[in-house]
Amino acid sequence: MKRAIADFLCEEEGNPASVHRAGQRARKALEGARGQVASLIGSEPRRIVFTSGGTESNNMAIFGTALAAAHRRKIVSSMIEHSSVLAPLSELEQRGFEIVRIAPDREGRISPDSVVAEIDANTALVTLALANSEVGSILETPKIAEAASAVGAVFHLDAAQAAGRIAVDISVLGCDLMTLSAHKLGAPAGIGALYIRDAARIAPRMSGGPQESGMRAGTPNLIGAVAFGASAEAARLAMAEESARVAMFASSLLERLRASIPDLRLNGSANDRLPNTLNLTFPGVLGETMLIALDLEGVEVSMGSACAAGAVEASHVLRAMGLSDGDARSSLRISLGWNTTATDIDTAATTIARVWRRVAVNEPLGSEAAS
């Protein structure tokens, strides 16, 4: 991916929309990248629209479908979606749409049957994550795709977390729209894509130019697209092997942590989840303190989401799964990447266990105000 960016920076400087030859070379690079991204999900290249990232793709999918849907006023989703899905849905709710938010089970899975039961002739859109961003649970799509298709509802999958980690094939999944994010594949932030099966069913959200088949006006982020394409290709070629490697690392890390931290709990499904994500409840400590202490030791983990002020907040996903506020505040997410090594796992296992003991002794949870 870095080589693709470097090569591109040395040779190209055009605007793909320009008519001159530099523009033609830029166009070739952009379309090459589009092909690489399309291959990752088994799509035709012309159905891929580059965006500024997963958040824009989700906004485009949701508002675009709502605008294009003539009379249908219902959207089916879940309580455990990413904020870039939840916020647009709340906005549409205020504008009169009926939003159904399905609750997950205790393992963070959305039951396909409960989704299907809500899909009716008034349904404009079904929007769900293929893999949950916090606990990694994976959605079973076939029944949902069939039910949506039967009533003519648009089926959107947010695959920002899933793509590159598990096989993602649009023909198997049966979706109409799919969100992709490049930085989850190791490319720089600021680029993503929306797969659009039928452009007639989605209204553009950005106007002012013919770019991206008229679906998203504006000079595209060419360097970002080149990096996205290269990382999508790398992910596609290495996926089988890398998934197995990361899964092995994750279970080895979990085993070692369980051995040193009594009552450590794994949130999410033991089996139907992304191989690279571990969402763990650490007994007796605040996740916030663990996160800071680990960061100071060079181990980066995440927790829920950050508020505007930059403080971490308890995960809405874990709360929806039935965890208490206290348990949600004691939970952290550990993500393994393609570049994670056996040494990293070793360091992480030792450091996390040591930091947990230190935090548990010095800042025991009972001392916090009972709330």
Partner 1 sequence: MKARVLVAMSGGVDSSVAAAMLSEEGYDVVGVAMRLAPESAPASRKRGTCCSHDDFEDARRVAELMNFPFYVIDLRADFAARVMNNFVSEYLAARTPNPCVMCNREIKFDRLWERARALEADFIATGHYARIERDAAGAFHLMRSVDESKDQSYFLFMLGQEQLARTLFPLGAMTKSEVRSRARALGLANADKPESQEICFVPDGDYARFVERRAGNSDIRPGRIVDNSGDTLGEHAGIHRFTVGQRRGLGIATGEPMYVRAIDRDSGDVVVALRNQISSAGLIAERVTLVDPSQREHDEIRVEAKIRYRHRALPATLRFDDGDRAEVRFDSPGPAVTPGQACVFYRGDDVLGGGFIEKAVLS
Three-state DSSP state, 98 = strand
Closest CA to 226 of 70, 12, 56: 12
Say if CB 237 and CB 164 are below 8 A apart: no
18-43 burial, b at 16+ Cβ within 10 Å, e below that, comes to eeeeeeebbbebbebbbbbbbbbbeb
Find tokens 């605007």 and name the residue: 15
Residue 307 among the catalytic residues: yes
Least Å distance, CB 325 to partner 1, is 10
> Nearer Cβ to partner 1, position 261 or 312?
312
> Nearer Cβ to partner 1, position 194 or 359?
359
Cα–Cα distance measured from residue 354 to residue 94, given in angstroms and rounded to the nearest whole number: 48
Tell me the one-letter amino acid at 238: A
Edge-to-edge strand list for the sheet holding 265-267: 265-267, 277-281, 331-335
Three-state DSSP state, 99 = strand
As beta bridge partners, residue 123 has: 74
Closest CA to 163 of 67, 71, 234: 234
> Nearer Cβ to partner 1, position 274 or 285?
285
Least Å distance, CB 96 to partner 1, is 28
> Nearer Cβ to partner 1, position 31 or 363?
363
Tell me the one-letter amino acid at 286: L
Residues that bind partner 1 (CB under 8 A): 288-289, 292-293, 295-296, 308-313, 358-359, 362-363, 367-371
Least Å distance, CB 213 to partner 1, is 40
Closest CA to 265 of 140, 108, 111, 109: 108
DSSP state of 138: B
- Active-site residue, selected from the candidate residues 307, 308, 311, 369: 307
Cα–Cα distance measured from residue 285 to residue 281, given in angstroms and rounded to the nearest whole number: 9
Find tokens 């404009």 and name the residue: 124
Helix (H) or strand (E) holding 335: strand 331-335
Least Å distance, CB 311 to partner 1, is 4
> Nearer Cβ to partner 1, position 200 or 370?
370
Cα–Cα distance measured from residue 3 to residue 9, given in angstroms and rounded to the nearest whole number: 10
> Nearer Cβ to partner 1, position 343 or 371?
371
DSSP state of 13: -
Q: What residues are labeled active site? A: 307
